[in-house]
Amino acid sequence: MATKIRDVMTGSPTSVSPELDLVTVARAMRDEDIGTVLVADGDELLGVVTDRDLVVRGLAAGGDPARAAIGGLASSVTATIGPDDSLDKAAQIMRERSVRRLPVLEDGRPVGIVSIGDLAMEKDSASALADISAARPNT
């Protein structure tokens, strides 16, 4: 059984510049089959954007999504974790901060993302959340 974040995280996270428009980011998410991107300026992590953020804070707000900068709707990063930290520590942080994903930082730069589904598949593979997380996308 995996015990460290590096064993379950999604490595090489997709990072986008805060100046990119919503449409470009949405297409990148579609093309890469991902639901979360990190917003960064070089190696400096500025925020996180999910597919839900694109809809709720982006499209629903009105305006032209081809002109709206992704940095304007990114969520602040309230917590991160290191690749050598434990799965239990990640679960504790997620519980305390009410987040479903944690950016993984090593030497201050993003190297991965770990989700609540990643933890469920490793720690409780018989759970409904693990089953849902392991299922193939319905695209």
* Confidence band for 128, pLDDT divided at 50, 70 and 90: very low
- Dump the DSSP string for 9-52: SEES--EE-TTSBHHHHHHHHHHHT-SEEEEEETTEEEEEEEHH
The pTM (predicted TM-score) of the whole model is: 0.85
Confidence (pLDDT) at 137: 55
Q: What is the pLDDT of residues 78-105, one digit of tens each?
A: 999 999 999 999 999 999 999 999 999 9
Kindly report the average pLDDT of the chain as a whole number. 89
Q: How far apart are CA 101 and CA 90, in angstroms?
A: 9
Q: Which domains, ranges and CATH numbers included, belong to the chain? A: 5-134 (3.10.580.10)
Q: What is the pLDDT of residues 29-59, one digit of tens each?
A: 999 999 999 999 998 999 999 999 999 999 9
